[in-house]
Structure 1
Amino acid sequence: MAMPDHLCPFGLKSKSLLERKGYTVNDTLLTTRAQVDAFMAAHDVKTTPITYIDGQQIGGYSDLKTHFGYRVLAEGDTTYAPVIAIFAATALTALAIVLNLYAGFPVAIFLMWFFALSMVALAIQKLRDVEGFVSGFLGYDLLARRHVPYGYAYPFLELYTGVGMMALIGTGSAWIWLVAPVGIFIGAVGAVSVIKAVYIDKRALKCACVGGGSNVPLGAVSLSENLIMLGMGLWMLARWFAV
């Protein structure tokens, strides 16, 4: 479809995929609504684009990806792609910060930055759709089930903790007492909730760690997120006592 107010993204992606696979594409553009309706009626299809290879109807963009052996997520399928993207980006960001601001490569400081940045990134994902996050969170968080407002507060508490930890990395400031206990609390509650839901009750749930509508399975990722918050808080308090 290539109409004045709409250029079909799936058509462009299908054409690009075919060309990358070495095909010469005969791109038939549908420029009016009447042409679209006539095409769908003539070919007995409900959507466009439709790809034909050597006269054989392959289907739409998802069908084309399947034809070439790419994985296409069906409704309900799970994937770790969102958390992989987040952790890869925060790890690279932490690396850049440490290389620019610190002498040598202090591994502990790198991990602090990585964990704090990851908390902020995950909080942002939750804040994109707080209602959607809370709906998923209520499926397993023990405290939110008893006090629903805690579910709404959680993304803000995680953001506060992550930003606070970044501000206090490497310091022995008493301000740590305003940040670390929050991380310890939400991390401990979250870890216990995930352990009960996944490893004791054996429930197959979606993780709300990257926001509402996530296809990330509840389990190791969410447990790690909570244990990191718990561990970060305890480590910051330990450093304060050491000073």
Structure 2
Amino acid sequence: MKNSFSIEGMTCKNCVASVTEKLLGVDGVYTVDVDLRKGEAEIEMKEHISISALKNVLPKKYFIEQKVKGKADDNLPFDRLRKTQKNEKVIGEKTKLQQLKPLLLIFAYLFASSFLLNYDNWSIGEAMLDFMGLFYIVFSFFKFLDLKGFPESFGMYDPIAKLFPFYGWIYPFLELCLGVMFLMRFQISTALLITILILGVTTIGVTRTLLNKKQIRCACLGTALQLPMTEATFIENSIMLVMAIIMLVQIF
């Protein structure tokens, strides 16, 4: 028999290989076909295998859930199974703040650094430019940690990266260049326009992904940190877009 499952937490081909290997190790599993972009897996098994048995073999970073309604898991009635899965999601939602902790700490450091750099001669405009420059430098660093895995993760929701995979490869370098431009106060208006363009396009892609109810991981911090895409991407993009628009209005 074949069953379809949704799997959250996969960001690159290494994740696919790991998930496939772990699931194939489950007794009774014949074949495993994992789709990274859809976040799905089709598993052919000798007989029904409980979802708990599949969860036990996967690392904690992955969450697997059966997509096809029908036979109850572990002999539970289907409505009871749905309640159990719903409770698991509620528990996951309660830990969102913990999942976002790395991102919040990064922003706290960036805000503090921007404030200290302009403490003696305070200027909110200068502080915002420093923040944006530091933002790009720090975020590009995380992408460079896994330069091979980032393009595929980024292409899962960024419209440009989907059409032109090469864009995913140059994006970390683009962020690094923008960071240097902001910090050195070089061609600020150009850097602001590029910021609004690339982050605006990414936000559109994220919105489409959410409307399609697809669950994928945020690639904005590369694949080094596993963050919930919705919250992480909107927090990052909204702050940067607001700052870019404000600065652009002030310039013109």
TM-score normalized by structure 1? 0.58
AA aligned opposite 1:186: I
- Name the % identity: 28
Residue matched to 2:206: 194
Aligned-partner Cα distance in 1 for 2:244–2:111: 19
Aligned-partner Cα distance in 2 for 1:202–1:144: 20
SS at match of 1:211: strand
Residue matched to 1:84: 104
Map Cα deviations across residues 30-76 of structure 1 (whole Å, 9 max, x no partner).
xxxxxxxxxxxxxxxxxxxxxxxxxxxxxxxxxxxxxxxxxxx9232
Residue matched to 1:49: none
Q: Aligned in 2, Cα 1:114/1:154: closer, same or farther, shift over 3 Å?
A: same
Q: How many residues align?
A: 160
Aligned-partner Cα distance in 2 for 1:90–1:183: 18
AA aligned opposite 1:239: Q
Q: Is 1:153 matched up with 2:197?
A: no
Aligned-partner Cα distance in 2 for 1:76–1:143: 27
Contact conserved, 2:125 with 2:247, CA < 8 A, in 1? no
Q: Is 1:93 matched up with 2:105?
A: no
Q: Aligned in 2, Cα 1:160/1:231: closer, same or farther, shift over 3 Å?
A: farther
Q: Select the structure of larger CA radius of gyration.
A: 1
Aligned-partner Cα distance in 2 for 1:110–1:91: 9
Aligned-partner Cα distance in 2 for 1:166–1:159: 11
SS at match of 1:131: coil
Q: Is 1:120 matched up with 2:143?
A: no
Aligned-partner Cα distance in 2 for 1:114–1:177: 16
- Please state how far the C-alpha of 1:213 moved relative to its aligned partner: 4.6
Residue matched to 1:74: 60
How do 1:163-202 and structure 2 match up within 5 A? 163-168=180-185, 175-198=187-210, 200-202=211-213
How do 1:197-216 and structure 2 match up within 5 A? 197-198=209-210, 200-216=211-227
- The structure richer in strand per residue is 2
SS at match of 1:130: coil
Q: Aligned in 2, Cα 1:107/1:89: closer, same or farther, shift over 3 Å?
A: same
- Please state how far the C-alpha of 1:201 moved relative to its aligned partner: 1.4
Residue matched to 1:141: 158
Aligned-partner Cα distance in 2 for 1:221–1:112: 21
Aligned-partner Cα distance in 2 for 1:111–1:240: 13
Unaligned runs of 5+ in 2: 1-58, 64-95
